């Protein structure tokens, strides 16, 4: 069974701080890695995707990938209360997207 692991949280950070979300995966054959944000009662919304080792930045978000360590992370700079949500890490296994358990982020004013 291919697995994607995340700390369920909640991760609590003050407004303006950097939130760091982590994910590990078991399938060394995974090629694509995604971060989704899910607000309560809503469907997942794609934030970032990354395919190559290293960092990828998009606005306040930075995704980091280390395939040797089978590790992917998401950094959220200048966290806002509106960032409070569950963040889902997902990796591809063949063409299927397998999700982690999600990390609940709480940003307090």
Binding site for other proteins (CB under 8 A): 1, 31-32, 34, 42-46, 49, 51, 88, 90, 95-102
Residue 20 structure tokens: 């760091």
C-alpha span between 42 and 26 (Å, rounded): 28
Q: How many helices (H) and strands (E) does the chain have?
A: 0, 11
Is the separation of the CB atoms in 59 and 52 below 8 Å?
no
Query: From the CB of 31, what's the least distance to other proteins, in Å?
Result: 8
Query: From the CB of 83, what's the least distance to other proteins, in Å?
Result: 19
Query: From the CB of 42, what's the least distance to other proteins, in Å?
Result: 8
């Amino acid at each position: 069974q291919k697995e994607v692991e995340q700390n369920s949280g909640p991760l609590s950070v003050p407004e303006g701080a950097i939130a760091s979300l982590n994910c590990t995966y078991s399938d060394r054959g995974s090629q694509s890695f995604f971060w989704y944000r899910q607000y309560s009662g809503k469907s997942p919304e794609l934030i970032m995707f990354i395919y190559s080792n290293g960092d990828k930045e998009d606005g306040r978000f930075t995704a980091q990938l280390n395939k040797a360590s089978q590790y992917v992370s998401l950094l959220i700079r200048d966290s806002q209360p509106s960032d409070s949500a569950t963040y889902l890490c997902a990796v591809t296994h063949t063409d299927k997207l397998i999700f982690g358990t999600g990390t609940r982020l709480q940003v307090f004013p």
